[in-house]
Amino acid sequence: MERLRQICLEAYDRLIGLELSEVAVDCCLTKAPCGGEKAGRSPVDRGKGGLKRSMAVDAEGIPLGAVSAPANRHDSPLVVPTLEAASDALGALPEGTSVHLENAATTPLSRANVYGSLG
């Protein structure tokens, strides 16, 4: 599946073009009623099993990379792994890329990690 995703991203970039001048990273909670090794107690669903998905998208909303974690994990530690997942498929992000983070992920430590990971 990872190879197929990479082929699709490369084809999209060749035919239409990824807009990598701006990248957004955001998280969302999803239900995981059957659990699983990554599921955790959801803080918004009465402690039922859930997952947190962190995704990076280009300026047009095209998914570049994603990671998952237990639902009770904070957003900020997922920012760098999410950007790494995007760069695994694309290579390094272009110099000057603006990375937009949601409010929950904009701690001083996560900002320092993002700027450090972009080099």
Rounded CA-CA distance 96/6 in Å is 23
What pLDDT sits at residue 56? 94
pLDDT tens, position by position, 41-89: 666 666 667 788 899 999 999 999 999 888 888 888 888 899 999 888 7
Tokens 């990690």 sit at which residue?
113
Rounded mean pLDDT, 15-22? 94
Write down the pLDDT at residue 14: 93
Q: Half-sphere exposure (CA, 13 Å, Cβ side) for 84?
A: 9
- Determine the pLDDT at residue 43: 61
* Distance (Å, whole) CA 65 – CA 68: 11
pTM score of the predicted model: 0.76
DSSP E strands: which ranges in the chain?
Answer: 22-31, 40-41, 49-57, 63-70, 98-101
The angle formed by the CA atoms of residues 104, 61 and 12, to the nearest 5 degrees, is 140
pLDDT confidence band for 37 (50 / 70 / 90): low
Quick one: pLDDT at residue 54?
92
